[in-house]
Amino acid sequence: MTPRPEIIRALGTRDDSVDAMLPDCALPDPLPSNVQGLPSQILSADEIAITDCDPVVLVGELRSKKWSCEKVVRAFLKRAALAQKTTNCITELLWKEAIARAQHLDSLPQPAGPLHGLPISIKEQFGVPGKINNNGFVACCDLNPWNRNLSAGGSSGGEGALVGFRGSPLGLGGDIGGSIRSPAANNGVYGFKPTPFRVGNTGGMGLIVGQEGIIGCIGPLSPTLSGIELFMKAYLDTMPWVKENYLVPIPWRDIQLPKRLKIGIMWSDGIVKPHPPIVRALSEVANALKSADFEVVDWQPKEHDECWKLTSALYYEDGGHRLRQMLKASNEKLLPLTEWLLSQGEVKSRTVEEVWDLKAKRNAYRSMYNQHWLDTRRDDGHPVDAILCPVGPGCAPPHDQARYWNYTSQWNLLEYPAISFPVTQVDTRLDVPEDGYVPLNELDRFNHGLYTTPERG
């Protein structure tokens, strides 16, 4: 298959921008599966200190002028270039614009806002003046910096890999089914999906723009929880709903929490059982919560199989027609995982009346689940405050094998905010495969079969 000229140009632009920041870089051949140790071999001590810094602390150093904006942005550009060479996670480094902006900020007598000088990366589909979006078509495979044999997650996998590699202190991703939270989990960082219409996307591009069956959300990824809060507060303090009037006019608020929070833990959704490392991580967090005097109860999933059916149908109400047309226009083939998704029985072209009926079922499911949540107050009048559940049924899977994401898409359909956070890593001494396991269904059988070796744990 011969690449189109614009594809060749796009790849050339990307590679030129990377080479400008990291020329003559001698990398091991072959690359190790875990490339997290490479920055310390290639970057200076100052560059490591800057790029490893907590985003909130980094902003403080920039405001105090301990580090110049230019020095900081050059350090991140260099580490981002290394991330690209090892994980294929970016589409372009905007190094000229970044350095020029940093020099301008350094010339100012006072800091320019709450994120003064902080480099930020964004998912390619978001609009940037003067830049062309391709929404991931003609896309290559993002690799996981912790294990290049495993997926970085999607569809914000580039952001996940870049932030996980510390090539960016703060990234923006999109999430319509887990596309912030899954990459965050796979790469060991934090990822927050707000409720819909909290963060704007004017000028952005999407495959299913205008589709409102499930609303996509924009949110931050960061190496630290404080980085997530830093972005959300800074963004909402600008009152973005004034310019983008479809956003809900709710400012950042510091809320008063109950004296004792009640946390519901969903150990499994009853469809696909999580792998041993996920169960252990849930247990560790549950024990930590109990030690901190949280009330911990079991959360009973309700009709999550129905949610999965609705979600699959709502993503492609046209049966995937637009997707196939766009791929045809760029002379691309369907990737195996996309082809598998489109083959699901719920994915089909629907009439207007059938779409109405589908959304009525969605709304009924939302009402049912809301009542299910409210019913948790029966014992003491206090409902569950938050649900702790897996981000997925396993850790980062091999490429093209992530066939089940209802642990995240469940909350997209319900339009609940959700955050993923790192807890631990696979320990093959503790996380032993379950012998004699009887799968619940074919999806569960497939997922259970993925947990076989340390490389695929």
Provide CB contacts within 8 A for 383, sequence distance 6+: 262, 373, 374, 376, 377
CA dist., res. 325 & res. 316, Å (int): 13
Sign of the Cα torsion 191, 193, 199, 205 reads positive
153 or 20: which carries more pLDDT confidence? 20
Backbone angles phi, psi at 435, to 5 degrees: -75, 145
CA dist., res. 209 & res. 127, Å (int): 13
Element (H, E) at 420: strand 418-420
Among candidate residues 90, 209, 92, 207, the one with its CA nearest the CA of residue 157:
90
Sign of the Cα torsion 170, 225, 84, 140 reads negative
Predicted confidence band at 295 (pLDDT cuts at 50, 70, 90)?
Answer: very high
Predicted confidence band at 60 (pLDDT cuts at 50, 70, 90)?
Answer: very high
SS3 of residue 151 by DSSP:
strand
Which of 78, 85, 123, 309 is labelled catalytic?
123
What confidence score (pLDDT) does residue 456 get?
Answer: 42
CA dist., res. 33 & res. 132, Å (int): 32
Residue 240 has pLDDT above 70, yes or no: yes
Predicted confidence band at 202 (pLDDT cuts at 50, 70, 90)?
Answer: confident
Q: Residue 197, by phi and psi: left (phi above 0), alpha (psi -120 to 50) or beta?
A: left
Element (H, E) at 219: strand 217-222
Which of 151, 168, 179, 312 is labelled catalytic?
179
Mean pLDDT of 386-406: 87
What confidence score (pLDDT) does residue 296 get?
Answer: 97
What confidence score (pLDDT) does residue 455 get?
Answer: 45
Q: What is the mean pLDDT of the chain?
A: 88
Residue 157 has pLDDT above 80, yes or no: no
What confidence score (pLDDT) does residue 297 get?
Answer: 96
Annotated active-site residue 302? The verdict is no
Q: Which two tokens stand for residue 200?
A: 């704007």
Residue 397 has pLDDT above 70, yes or no: yes
Mean pLDDT of 279-293: 97
Annotated active-site residue 155? The verdict is yes
Which of 121, 151, 155, 312 is labelled catalytic?
155
CA dist., res. 432 & res. 435, Å (int): 9
Predicted confidence band at 132 (pLDDT cuts at 50, 70, 90)?
Answer: low
SS3 of residue 449 by DSSP:
helix
Mean pLDDT of 336-340: 80
CA dist., res. 433 & res. 269, Å (int): 19
SS3 of residue 143 by DSSP:
strand
Domain boundaries, the chain: 262-457
What confidence score (pLDDT) does residue 138 get?
Answer: 42
SS3 of residue 174 by DSSP:
strand
Q: What is the dihedral of CA 127, 132, 135, 138, to 10 degrees?
A: -160
Length of the chain, in residues? 457
Mean pLDDT lowest among 16-20, 138-142, 175-179, 261-265: 138-142
Q: What angle do CA 54, 152, 206 make, to 5 degrees?
A: 95
Check if the beta carbon of residue 304 is closer than 8 Å to that of residue 271: yes
Share of the chain above pLDDT 90, in %: 64
Mean pLDDT of 269-281: 96
Mean pLDDT of 301-316: 93
Mean pLDDT of 148-159: 68
Q: Is the pTM of this model over 0.85?
A: yes
pLDDT 10s digits, 380-391: 889 999 999 999
What confidence score (pLDDT) does residue 140 get?
Answer: 42
Annotated active-site residue 123? The verdict is yes
